[in-house]
A = this chain, B = another copy of it.
């Protein structure tokens, strides 16, 4: 991003880490409980530490007292929890960037959301050589399914098999597919053909207009595990295929209706991006942002009779916005200087009494090791 500016002020959603357990069982059944960090609280309520943000958002947009303007575009960065064994790229606790859009069923909304995901990853310095969005469609898979199977109750199980296809032994997948009346070959052929549906074509065209074609491809291997997806689904992957999915999302046009008990019907779509895989990828590519503590100046206090004047200068520099540290108590000169280096200070400043009695500042650039003598009131100007 070319322009240097303050953080964007977009509608950010914050909420408590707890939700009623039924928010998750309502849409996924009781089997979801195994994966939740749930408990009974002091008030005898069944609650869970949030495993994902989407049901919470669906609950919030459905609140009848809120007259949110549509379309609603929200982001959030919740801390989320799973009750399961830790794996590489999948921890029991993680932060997840969520972006969601409610109130628009047109594929233009899907394209808008996917372009946000692409731009978010590019903001970290990742390029089309680093990642790709694999775009798929539950609708296309549903069409495939209903053409071959009339028992719609089996659709969920079928999607689960497709979701595991890339991670499971082909023989095992084939056996599970055969039990539903499908063959692995016809499934593989459908994936290989990768014929974009009308909605996928619309999204691809929209992204092409934005110059983002290099970042996206149709790939029916993607179907997403969660039950609530209804339309387009997608996952972002590193191009080397060395990591788990960086991000994933899609349409969930029925979720608000289910969660509001039929009171509110609002199409929705969104994606989540966990800090875990993203950080692994950025680290591997040398793109992890440096979050080291930064120090503009370390004030050396070698003459304790000048501590008061030093504190006064330090305070004025801090009020001018500089980060300044100093030894809280008397310390040896070499120990102080070592501390300034450890803290990666840009400068050291040291008050001294000049022969004529006035106080001067020895001002040293720790990168160039250049040193000069300045008046106390000119120190801020020297650092600017």
CB within 8 Å of B: which residues of A?
Answer: 1-5, 8-11, 16-18, 37-42, 49, 69, 71, 79, 83, 93, 104, 106, 108-109, 112, 115, 119, 206, 209-212, 291-294, 308, 311-312, 314-315, 318-323, 328-329, 339, 342, 384
Q: Is the CB of A108 within 8 A of B328?
A: yes
Q: Is the CB of A3 within 8 A of B322?
A: yes
Residues of B within 8 A of A4 (CB): 321
Copies in the complex: 2
With A209-B312, A210-B312 already in contact, the answer to whether A2 and B321 are too (CB < 8 A) is yes
Q: Indicate which residue in B71, B211, B384 contacts A315 across the interface (CB closer than 8 Å).
A: B211
Residues of B within 8 A of A17 (CB): 17, 49, 79
- In angstroms, Cα B6 to Cα A321, docked, is 10
| Nearest chain B residue, comparing its CB with the CB of A319 | B1
Q: Is the CB of A329 within 8 A of B79?
A: no
15 pairs, A vs B, C-beta closer than 8 Å:
A1-B319, A1-B321, A4-B321, A38-B42, A39-B39, A39-B42, A69-B342, A104-B329, A106-B328, A108-B328, A119-B319, A209-B308, A209-B311, A210-B311, A210-B312
Residues of B within 8 A of A83 (CB): 42
- In angstroms, Cα B292 to Cα A17, docked, is 24
The 6 A-B residue pairs whose C-beta atoms are closest, nearest first, are A3-B321, A210-B315, A209-B311, A209-B308, A108-B328, A39-B39
Residues of B within 8 A of A314 (CB): 210
Residues of B within 8 A of A2 (CB): 319-321
- Shortest Cβ distance from A74 into chain B, in angstroms? 10
| Nearest chain B residue, comparing its CB with the CB of A34 | B42
